[in-house]
Structure 1
């Protein structure tokens, strides 16, 4: 079972767990972009990355259990109608390929921690792409937080052009709740400073990150797909997916934050080293 756990003994955040909800291979430009138009590298790419984890995070807080992202759905591998048809579906298949072993389903990974989906009290999505919002169906009775700019994609004529499978998001009975960001561009989930959502747009218009402050351990910043490798951010290297200007501004802001908080650990959703960073003392 692939998972990593970091526990704390004091303060409102009691534990943070990384769970692996599938694996993905992407094209090199999806990791280290140079400003190449996405359609061009989609058409011309011939190589794939190694298999990378699709990470989500379970945060045990004294006032609830939070799930940040929900991973890739196993249905994507078995349902022939999961992706759009025609040329658009071809683009999806050219850009990424997935596998979800039985031990990496959401149910299995939660069970390894001693949880069921019914134990989750809050869900927050870094964005609405398939490998981050793929397992929403169990969460019919809890708030599922999504940035307003990301929710706006569902009102577009063709959300699938933005990587959002609108036919599947949200599933029946699941309500997506817009994050009520303050003027300071943050939302304090429990009003105690320990779990703070913040917009980090670029990869998608409403990409957001979760800042976790722990009483006796280094703070964490969960960034979704802002980057595949946090060490690239300070060099201004971002994926060739999304709005490049917004991505570079987000990279600058995160670099500024890490400079002001040297112990901050940035955990990206497809970075294998995130598992090590989480468990380091």
Structure 2
């Protein structure tokens, strides 16, 4: 069984589960990819820092957006809200919700003020600006109206650059997969952990030279991936891989000019 919890100094971290998605390889690697099926997990992260309960990303939501039906399939026994409750929390306990970017598989449970009624939701202004420019059928475009409504109603806050959300939870902008893409450093004392979101979402993406067909700026993705993973290795910081189905908590080691993720196991 995969390890699900971490202690980072005085901060408690728990990796949650919103199921597995299944899609054609071409949806991620571009039209030249073989039409094999690939699987990815969705692992939002719950961070307890003092009186704050922070959720990092929010899965696909209760169901697939209509535009993705037929392209993606979700397999899960329970969704994010049920897994949160299994961990001993009510959705109303969440105080802050950080969205790394506005792809549907990261925002699904977040873009309704009733899902986490006491939480402020955060994303970068640049992420919204990019989404506004996307074609009508692009998944990020779906987030525009809910985000704008949330800003108007006061439960959604747009950031401009790096920010400390609460003590020990710090966002850093690392574009490449998307404009305004945020990673999250969790820090307490001399200890740290890193949530990479879609900058390096699974073990295969620890290879800096592997670029997704849906990355908007491949060179920035490569550069930022190298810098961030190098820092994680130097700090000895565990890394949480959002889309890795099972072995989603790893330590980073350099290997053959790239990186590999060594499982934290059940220790």
TM-score (norm 1): 0.75
Deviations 1:95-150 (A, max 9, x none): x332233x2x2221111111011000000011111111000221344221101211
Aligned to 2:183, the other structure's residue is in SS state strand
> Which residue number corresponds to residue 46 of structure 1?
35
Deviations 1:198-236 (A, max 9, x none): 1121112121111112447x5211111222334643542
How far did residue 260 of structure 1 move?
3.0
Q: CA–CA distance in 1 between the matches of 2:264 and 2:99?
A: 19
After the TM superposition, list the runs of 4 or more consecutive aligned residues in structure 1 that deviate by more than 6 angstroms.
Answer: none
Q: Where does residue 79 of structure 1 map in the other structure?
A: none
Q: How much is the aligned-residue C-alpha RMSD, in angstroms?
A: 3.0
Give the CA deviation at 1:241: 1.4
Q: State the distance in 1 between where 2:207 and 2:40 align.
A: 22
Instruction: Report what 1:117 is aligned to.
Output: 91
For 2:260, the equivalent position in structure 1 comes to none
Q: Write the distance in 2 (CA, Å) between the matches of 1:3 and 1:139.
A: 26
> Which whole-Å CA distance do the structure 2 matches of 1:98 and 1:174 have between them?
31
Which has the higher mean CA deviation after the structures are superposed, 156-165 or 242-251? 156-165
Q: Is the 8 A contact 2:18 2:76 kept in 1?
A: yes
Alpha-carbon distance change, 114 to 278 in structure 1, aligned in 2, over 3 angstroms: farther
Aligned residue for 1:166, secondary structure, equals helix
Which structure dedicates a bigger proportion of its chain to strand?
2
Query: What is the rounded CA distance, in whole Å, between the counterparts of 2:109 and 2:2 in structure 1?
Result: 18
* Cα deviation digits, residues 134-190 of structure 1 (max 9, x gap): 002213442211012111134336354254423773477674311242xxxx21223
Distance 1:157 1:111, change over 3 A: closer
CA, structure 1 residues 200+225, in 2 after alignment: closer, same or farther (shift >3 Å)?
same
How far, CA to CA, are the matches of 1:278 and 1:127 in structure 2?
27
> Partner of 2:84: helix, strand, or coil?
helix
Residue of structure 1 equivalent to 2:56: 68
- Alignment partner, residue 20 of structure 1: 17
2 CA distance for matches of 1:157 and 1:266? 30
1:11-160 to 2 correspondence within 5 Å?
11=10, 13=11, 15-28=12-25, 38=30, 40-41=31-32, 45-49=34-38, 51-76=39-64, 82-84=65-67, 93-94=70-71, 96-101=72-77, 103=78, 105-136=79-110, 137=112, 138-156=115-133, 158=135, 160=137
The two structures have a TM-score, normalised by structure 2, of 0.79
Unaligned runs of 5+ in 2: 251-262
Match of 1:248 in 2: 222
Tell me the SS of whatever aligns to 1:146.
strand
1:227/1:238 contact within 8 Å kept:
no
Change (3 A) 1:174 1:29: farther
The residue that corresponds to 2:4 in the other structure is 4
The higher relative CO (CA closer than 8 Å, separation ≥ 6) is in 1
Q: 1:187 is matched with which residue?
A: 163
Instruction: State how far apart, in whole Å, the 1-side matches of 2:36 and 2:249 are.
Output: 25
